[in-house]
Structure 1
Amino acid sequence: MEKINYNIGLIGAGRVGRALALRLNQVGYRISLIMDCYLENAKQVAKQLPNSCIISEMGNWPLLDVLLLTVPDDQIPTVAQNLCNSTVDLTNTVVAHTSGATTSQVLIPLKAKGAIVASLHPIQTFSGIEDEANKITGTYFGIEGEEKAVTILTELVQRMKGIPLVISPETKPVYHAACVFASNYVVVLMALAEELLKKLNISLQKPWKILLPLLQGVVKNMHHQDPSKALTGPILRGDVKTVQAHLQALAQESPLLVQIYRELALQALDISEQSHPELQTKYKRLKEILQTSICEKVQQ
């Protein structure tokens, strides 16, 4: 593998830091430094990066071209302040954190030390398993910050076979909310579905596994078509009786489940109306049912 003339350092040897360090090393970048307040974490990553310097404190570092802050969001300001107060030379160093919610503005104090600041957020989940670095291929990265930093980080992402997505600081909250909807809240919906499956007294330790092929099928469909085309189910068909049955059954379990079902069904209805105008009569009836107060009994 061709070695690239960049010295890269990471502060934070957790799941994200580990995946990025290993992937950057795989594609030819030199990981010169790994820092973590828990030295054992850094050592675990360094086992696969034998030429890296492992440290637990800021001090006499080698000059870095890129420094990635792969720490939890609430630690970024503290790490930035500690860097400001340290003797670390950040002249012309691209310093980027990997938070999806926080902009590069939190790193502005580092400009006084000559740093070029940005943020680099992988739109991916990392669980810490051995082959996590391979998940980066095909993963989008939200990038924002100073122009020179964005250029260099775009190069890093492309080299890792990722896909750069340059965004503005102003749009980052909406960008991150979209990521949360597509990841965290899918897990929440699966947990709610599992609770309903448990009512069936199914003899499985993990009832949610029943739904995995269904979920995987949805994801596969989304590879080939946009959400409006991938939608299936009773709302799309205008199946009034089935939706009424769902609401009545959920009302026996939890008012909250009824509320969640209604809100999601109304969103599904908006999508359906755009693609199937011939079902407008059925959709109108569905909307009437779904907009009924949660406290009211669903009418037959």
Structure 2
Amino acid sequence: MWSDTIVTTQAIVVHESGGPQVLKYEEITVPEPGPGQVLVRNHAVGLNFLDVYLRSGRYPAKVPFIPGHEGAGVVERVGIGVEDFSVGDRVGYIDPMGSYAGLVTRSVDRLVKLPDGIEVKDAAGLLLKGMTAEYLLRRTYRVMAGQTILVHAAAGGVGQILCQWAKHLGATVIGTVGSAAKRQIAENVGCDHVIINGQEDFVATVHDITAGHGVPVVYDGVGGEGFMKSLDCLAPRGTMVAFGAAAGPIPPLDVQELGPKGSLYVTRPMLGPYVATTEDLNASAQALFDVVLDGHVKVEVANTYRLAEAAQAHADLELRKLAGSTILVP
């Protein structure tokens, strides 16, 4: 609903840290687009574990706040000086926080245009996870043809993209999953070997698969107690990429242990520094769009909730009921 000066929309607002119940569906006022900004009507927003970390207080955030970093929709209004975007353009974004809303104001230097062949709702569940996979595989550790790699949570949103993209690069992929039900998902996205946590010792299995050599890189978005075991999967001078902690915080690490384990490398990357400039943002998005449009990576929205059902979506995500990409529809 519009007036001469005020724009309002429905959004999810967090007034205090806590469980999914702190996600409140409310009406908010949206700033009109200023110079270099546009107003975007969201067709969908992406659900990510980052949203859970911020809602729960694991990552600090000043309250009240609107969660969510990822969304896609159509430009509805443009501010002064905007030349590269027009009303009606299909766009997506991965920052800043505040995507859990029907309307958002965004700076054009943080927007990407969606190419033909990428549906708006698909983009809402693709961009953050897909651009995460891009920097992990191409820049944090550059995966090469012929390598064997380990991907934890292979049936998850990032995991499914990582595995498909790694296969396209020519790697052999070992994936871990949390249940037998998720084995088929991991196999469908290109895992050559699937390990079910709780049924197999993934360290022993990785060494069996690699004839005792270990893998050059482990991609771990799970964290928790499995982190230290993952170090034992690495070949000498291997790289541990801990990009998330869905299962809980990573235990303290004595870096002196990395020498005897094989002069290992450990990194905790985040997407932000990899897409800090507009040029890097667009390059990462273009690389992602290329592999999707060429058919090397297929991403389908697996779960859809109304925005008003965000609390239920968060609860299901934390209970590991969801696999693949999930979107919230305003």
TM score, norm. by length of structure 2: 0.31
User: Bigger relative contact order, structure 1 or 2, given CA contacts below 8 A and separation 6+?
Assistant: 2
Which is richer in strand?
A: 2
Structure with the greater alpha carbon radius of gyration: 1
TM-score by length of 1: 0.34
More helix as a share of residues: 1
